[in-house]
Structure 1
């Protein structure tokens, strides 16, 4: 019996892929992102680090810092750290990046990319290439694009299926000028505040509503203090995986190829698990005492699009018609 167990152990060890040990003089790198360790952002970061370590025989040793720990939780400051080379690798969403590189917010415009088919077509084509260039011009090297997902709306006043349902609604929004403007055009009263204040503000009635991805609505327990949710897919939010120019310029051509391939594969993995998680979370909405609008009809989407048309005109000249065209919008 002992011989049989030893034989099985040897076979099992052969079947488990070996991860290269870190080199004695491994290059230590800092990878920062803004989400919790339980997020798909973190899964993408871990996948990237794993691939690079494996394909460089342990030359690079990554420490991953979630929740923008290196910048004290300040997400915009987190971008500054990768721009200046304090952080080596960085993962952040378009809404935050728009404070630094304004055009990076284009894919988040209202109902611009209403389905994942639209997302994949644009992100894997000229649209995605243009976004990478926007970030490159901001002083980093953008290697790949991941996914935060569609932002949904929750509130304590009424079901939302048409623009009039938003009139006077006090809604917390991220610090994006585009989102402040478009919600005003619908008739809402957008308010910017730190995410950490949202739960209590909804609970106490300081605000009526907020919007976020399903993942964050669940993990931040927002669904405990709201009565309505509308899955309206009004704004798609991509993630940008970038490295500092200082790090990039220190890599050999062979290492650059490894980092690029690792970024592509890691973000493909992150997108896949994000969509799987979203599908699972939709099925868990019944666990909360909330009214669910699980989708909008084409006619309802059209009404919201017409109400927010002006936000496209507001940025038509600043961002350029050509960039919008790469995401399917024609003026």
Structure 2
């Protein structure tokens, strides 16, 4: 009788070990992004983790690594980790992605997307589809697009309304060739340096100006050492939500649909959070001793557009078709 009981027990254990319920044990996902936990990027990452866990019945659990912790803070290396499948999910902005997938920079071209109405029209249309395809060619699967926001300019010399106000202005810009060249056309003197050096450089007069999103200008305390800010919306910066090809290839069709829906919902949530935060930060500019140019007039924007028109000519051969998908025709 005892031998029969042992045999039955072994059979039951073998049955459950090979059953679908056992095979569906939780999968641990690593999600990396480049910003602090206080950012709207992190809010979007948390929302994705919540949604994918719920949709999958707990099969997919996500650990989030902010500040590109897994790549030691190196943002380009952070992209390489998702390309090689070391991380499963990654969020990064267009400026960094442009070092690997050149076309990803197109939405950042000057005054290409001057309003959120333009952003929503083109990023949710053929332009956004083309950007996802460009990232996919680099060895990831781009599922959705979020928002870093508009980049604004602060300086210590004078209010900025027209190109003449920027003549000779020593201005820190990101390492993107697009941003370096367009500021040269305006007449500024662009310099590239690590973001960590900006506060001291503004304070000591090594540079006169810099540009960034309001979120980062607040987070990095840049407004403490600046006298003027112009809210000119000159460059829009999206963020790309991608997964590794290794992870994507391991998913069933049903799971792929779950991931797509979770990414779409998470980035829609992040975009709303980013826009709400921008409104809040605009209202808080009065906390600083800084003169604010609330917006530029259409005539002033046209002056800047004329000054930087050459940047589109320079990149027509490479990006011309994509420019059209964002409503720009030379």
- Tell me which interval the TM-score lies in, with the shorter structure as reference length: over 0.9
> Corresponding residue for 1:242?
242
Q: Could you tell me which runs of 5 or more consecutive residues in structure 2 were left unpaired when the two chains were aligned.
A: 1-22
1:193-272 superposed matches below 5 A: 193-272=193-272
Alpha-carbon displacement from aligned partner over 1:217-273 (angstroms, at most 9, x marks no partner):
001111001000000000000000000000000011111000000000000000001
Is 2:72 the partner of 1:72?
A: yes
Name the SS of the counterpart of 1:190 in structure 2: strand
Name the SS of the counterpart of 2:280 in structure 1: helix
Distance, in Å, in 1 between the alignment partners of 2:24 and 2:260 is: 24
> Corresponding residue for 1:8?
none
Distance, in Å, in 1 between the alignment partners of 2:24 and 2:147 is: 35
Distance, in Å, in 1 between the alignment partners of 2:213 and 2:250 is: 37
Provide the TM-score with structure 1 as the length reference: 0.92
**Shift of residue 61, structure 1, vs aligned partner:** 1.4
**Shift of residue 24, structure 1, vs aligned partner:** 9.1
Is 2:63 the partner of 1:63?
A: yes
1:1-331 superposed matches below 5 A: 25-319=25-319, 321-331=320-330
Distance, in Å, in 1 between the alignment partners of 2:25 and 2:44 is: 25
Q: Could you tell me which runs of 5 or more consecutive residues in structure 1 were left unpaired when the two chains were aligned.
A: 1-22
Distance, in Å, in 2 between the alignment partners of 1:191 and 1:79 is: 25
Distance, in Å, in 2 between the alignment partners of 1:172 and 1:207 is: 7
Provide the TM-score with structure 2 as the length reference: 0.92
Distance, in Å, in 2 between the alignment partners of 1:78 and 1:135 is: 14
Distance, in Å, in 2 between the alignment partners of 1:156 and 1:57 is: 54
Larger Rg: 2
**Shift of residue 291, structure 1, vs aligned partner:** 0.5
Distance, in Å, in 2 between the alignment partners of 1:147 and 1:90 is: 14
> Corresponding residue for 1:10?
none
Please tell me the root mean square deviation across aligned C-alpha atoms, in Å: 1.0
Distance, in Å, in 2 between the alignment partners of 1:177 and 1:147 is: 21
Name the SS of the counterpart of 1:149 in structure 2: strand
**Shift of residue 25, structure 1, vs aligned partner:** 3.3
Name the SS of the counterpart of 2:35 in structure 1: coil
Superposition misfits of 4+ residues, deviation over 6 angstroms: none
